[in-house]
Structure 1
Amino acid sequence: MKITAIETVQLPHLNNILWVRLHTDEGLIGLGETFRGAHAVAAYIHSDVAPQLIGQDPLQIDRISKLLLEPYVGFRSSGVEIRAASAIDIALWDLFGKVAGLPVHQMLGGLSRPAIRTYNTCAGYTYNKQGTRRYIGDKDAASEGPYEDQIAFHRDAGALAESLLSEGITAMKIWPFDPFAVANGGNFIHASELDQALLPFRQIRDAVGDRMEVMVELHSMWDLTSALTIARGLRPFNPFWAEDPIKMTNPQALATYAQRSGLPVCASETMATRAQFLDVLRAEAVDYVMLDISWCGGLSEAKKIATMAETFQRPIAPHDCTGPVVFAASIHLALNAPNAVYQESVRAYYTSWYRDLVTVMPRIEQGMIYPFEGPGLGLELSDHVLRHPDVIRRSTTAT
């Protein structure tokens, strides 16, 4: 089998997402995806990656992974080069499963559990769809459907927790500190601001007590001193973890946070390659290892990071607030990895616009995500995408 063409697919109204399709001389197509910087990643794939891969055997996954994860510049980062490598690698695993007639989780080593628990990231329908910065949210914004959870945690986080529990979802993630980081540059939070940001945690505990696990997302927006101030305020509410409390640039600073905050630390969707994760693990700076398959180097690298985390007695929790193909790949890994504890999901996504983009969605019931059944990733891009009047499809073939 040989790779005959590499195709990128984009939709302008979802300009954070890039899909990659690897075409072969046997008619099989592997599907991958990455997120953010989609135009730059597509350009890099066609200019630099495609010439290296056209005519190559797509089943030589480890060789290709090493080739793409070690460019002359851009290695050990989550920038364009590694995001391109991630999308290609996901597509290679999809192809591998299709050739074998088996789902990716089986190719990775099989199921470690029949289903994986999920937590709901409390985003709304438009969060992260477009632009280069996250939409922080406006509590007075209009709702687009029943799961405008980002607006909900600003308005009444207790009622939101009750809604999630009614669907069997027993863990949720919120980020009420972000507006103050934007306003103050991330190096100061006033006592009154801290009190305001803690309101959702009070509402959740008052409404549902300890029946709901609550993760706090800090988006790497704070310096160490302010992050520790926030941690002191959070401790009485017993959050499940504090995620990315500071920038992931200094493992020792993160270790200091872990030692002094009194909170479990989760890090980090923003890191790439096992080398960066090794640094924070060696520094005893992280309790929960979060990786994003579309940013860390793909399934190949994610599996290695998961295994390395296991040797340090740390659980993993794959990140997903991106697109449906990465969501699918993450589910396969989370079901396979013995040390996976949660798979992130966004109910506003998987109940709405994700369904327009792919042919199959996973079964999610009572807070648990169940395996895909088809070969490879178990899904394809839908006709809605491939035949969309605004679709941007670009292919590089052998010259």
Structure 2
Amino acid sequence: MSRITKLRTIRIAERPNLIWVEVETDEGLMGLGETFRGAQAVEAVIHEQIAPQILGSDARQVEAISRQLHTPYVGFQGASAEIRAASAIDLALWDIKGKRHGIPVHEAMGGANRLEIQAYNTCAGYSYNSNNVARRVIGQQDAPQGPYDDQLAFNTDAGRLATSLIEEGYRAMKIWPFDVFAAATGGQNISLVDLKRGLEPFRKIREAVGDNIEVMCELHSLWGALPAERICRALEDYGVFWVEDPINKMHDVEALADLRSRVRVPICGSETLSGTTQFRELMAANAVDVVMLDLAWCGGLTEARKIAAIAESHRRALAPHDCTGPITLMAGLHLALHASTAIYQEVVRATLSTWYRDLVTELPVIERGMVKAPVLPGLGTALRSEVKLRADATLRESA
């Protein structure tokens, strides 16, 4: 038996949405998990609800613990603190599993289908999505914070941005130039003028680099069905690889399937969903072409590998999400290497080059746009020791 003896959470004020959990066992192993958004709420769930349930449990029983934590009486949707907390615990248990056997998690799951996978760069900036305030509109008036301020770049010179990505070996990128126009109507309409403005970055990319880079369009679940269809139809001429989360309720599979039947661009979804049931319904309705999932939100690796199996049975491509934290990225990479229909791993070069590396000991190795398989046991990384010693760190333990 490998008895769980302690749960420890760590969060820092500089990144108020991020929280890490360390799970310790009586065999001297420690696993690291992570989740994102509402860190204080997740902290409370871990110590006040989860700790009494799993302290003393056998850490080897990952499936049983996942099933126990993934079915709370309330809060079972992906948006809940309960599922985010359960996801973080699950990632830590898989980290322990790999370390116990001295193998990477992708091997612990049954082995890799590939030892590298293509990356696409989400064109976010250095501080994108890193605090509790709404995403600010980025525009011409902003000054770049560094060479990889890619959100500013796609709003100002998308052609040059695409060229820089190709020079580094990336062959795919994701942008979201329509977001700024949603607020005017609550996402219920988009004018022809705004539509054409939103199309400008795609035009500039094709003008600069032709068809030498794939371009994904993120719509962030901001739109009603009518404007989503108008945007998707307009994007057909630019050969976008997918349109992601086009409608404002991605669990509405009927509306999403209807949209997919009306347009010729592939539809991707959704990082906002949780658990096998929601994803099964999404695929059964033929509502998506590409399955996007976030391992820190959907239930962890245990639930994610089941979702990946459903995607395989429906012959749907898989693409793990990352725009939140380094542990989620590492976990998503292990799944992307293992899952048979995975085609991409999302990365953000701005965060990889700055604050991700300040938090953890190891990050994915990317060479000419390909992400290499981690070789260290478990998830293959750990929090840097100085993170817990920071003046803005909050640590809490249950034992």
Deviations 1:269-325 (A, max 9, x none): 000001000111111100000000000000000000001100000010000001000
> Could you tell me which residue of structure 1 aligns to residue 341 of structure 2?
339
- Residue identity in the other structure for 2:149: E
Q: Which residue does 1:294 correspond to in 2?
A: 296
Deviation at 1:132, TM superposition (A): 4.8
Contact in 2 for aligned 1:5/1:54 (Cα 8 Å): yes
Report the 3-state secondary structure (helix = DSSP H, G, I; strand = E; otherwise coil) of the residue aligned with 1:271. Answer: coil
* Distance in 1, Cα, partners of 2:85 & 2:59: 16
Question: Is residue 52 of structure 1 aligned with residue 53 of structure 2?
Answer: yes
Question: Could you say which residue in structure 2 is the equivalent of 1:101?
Answer: 102
Change (3 A) 1:166 1:3: same
1:139, 1:152 within 8 Å by CA — same for their partners in 2? no
1:105 and 1:111 in contact (8 A); partners too? yes
1:328 CA displacement: 0.4
Structure 2 residue aligned with 1:361: 363
**What residue in structure 1 maps to residue 396 of structure 2?**
394
Question: How far did residue 355 of structure 1 move?
Answer: 0.3
Q: Is the 8 A contact 1:169 1:366 kept in 2?
A: yes
Q: Which residue of 2 aligns with 1:12?
A: 13
Q: Which residue of 2 aligns with 1:251?
A: 253
CA 1:376 to 1:136, structure 2 compared with 1: closer, same or farther past 3 Å?
Answer: farther
Question: Contact 2:17/2:38 (CA < 8 Å) preserved in 1?
Answer: yes
* Within-5 A mapping of 1:35-114: 35-114=36-115
State how far apart, in whole Å, the 1-side matches of 2:319 and 2:391 are: 37
Identity across the alignment (%): 52
Q: Which runs of 5+ in 1 are unaligned?
A: none
Cα shift at 1:184: 2.2
1:90-140 Cα offsets, whole Å, 9 max, x none, are 000000011111100100111111200010000000001111533442332
Question: For the structure 1 residues 134 and 109, does the alpha-carbon distance in structure 2 shift closer, same or farther, using more than 3 Å as the test?
Answer: farther
TM-score (norm 1): 0.98
Correspondence list, 1:180-191, <5 A: 180-191=181-192
C-alpha separation between the residues in 2 aligned to 1:204 and 1:260? 26
Whole-Å separation in 1 of the counterparts to 2:328 and 2:140: 29
**Matches of 1:39 and 1:303 in 2, distance apart?**
28
- 1:130 equivalent in structure 2: 131
Q: Quick check: 2:233–2:265 contact (8 Å CA) kept in 1? A: no
Q: Distance in 2 between matches of 1:374 and 1:134?
A: 35
Q: Aligned residue for 2:204?
A: 203
Query: In the alignment, is the contact (CA less than 8 A) between 2:251 and 2:278 conserved in 1?
Result: no
- Residue aligning to 1:140: 141
In the alignment, residue 70 of structure 2 is paired with which amino acid? L
What secondary structure is seen at the aligned counterpart in 1 of 2:8? strand
Q: TM-score, normalised by structure 2?
A: 0.98
Q: Distance in 2 between matches of 1:114 and 1:54?
A: 35
Matched residue SS, 1:295 = coil
The alignment status of 1:311 with 2:305, answered yes or no, reads: no
Provide the rounded CA distance (Å) in 2 between the counterparts of 1:273 and 1:52.
20
Asked if 2 retains the 8 angstrom alpha-carbon contact of 1:76 and 1:275, the reply is: no
Q: Where do 5+ consecutive residues of structure 2 fail to align?
A: none
Tell me the distance in 2 between the aligned counterparts of 1:312 and 1:169: 28
Q: Deviations over 1:315-345 (max 9, x none)?
A: 1000000100000001111011111000000
DSSP-derived class of the 2:354 partner: helix
Name the aligned partner's letter for residue 377 of structure 1.
L
* Deviation by residue 1:155-180 (Cα, 9 ceiling, x = unmatched): 01000000000001010000000010
Corresponding residue for residue 328 of structure 1:
330
Equivalent residue of 2:20, what SS?
strand
Which residue pairs with 1:241 in the alignment?
Answer: 242
| Residue aligning to 2:22 | 21
Q: What letter corresponds to residue 127 of structure 2 in structure 1?
A: T
Of residues 375-384 and 303-312 in structure 1, the stretch that sits farther from structure 2 once superposed is 375-384
Residue pair 1:173, 1:214 contacting (<8 A) in 2 also: yes
Q: Is the Cα contact below 8 Å between 2:139 and 2:156 reproduced in 1? A: no
Q: Work out the CA distance in 1 between the residues paired with 2:245 and 2:133.
A: 19
- Describe the superposition over 1:180-225 as per-residue Cα deviations: whole angstroms up to 9, x where unpaired: 0122210011111011110000000000011010000000000000
Task: State how far apart, in whole Å, the 2-side matches of 1:303 and 1:187 are.
Answer: 35
The answer to whether the 8 A contact 1:356-1:384 is kept is no
Amino acid at match of 2:192: A
1:359 maps to amino acid:
T
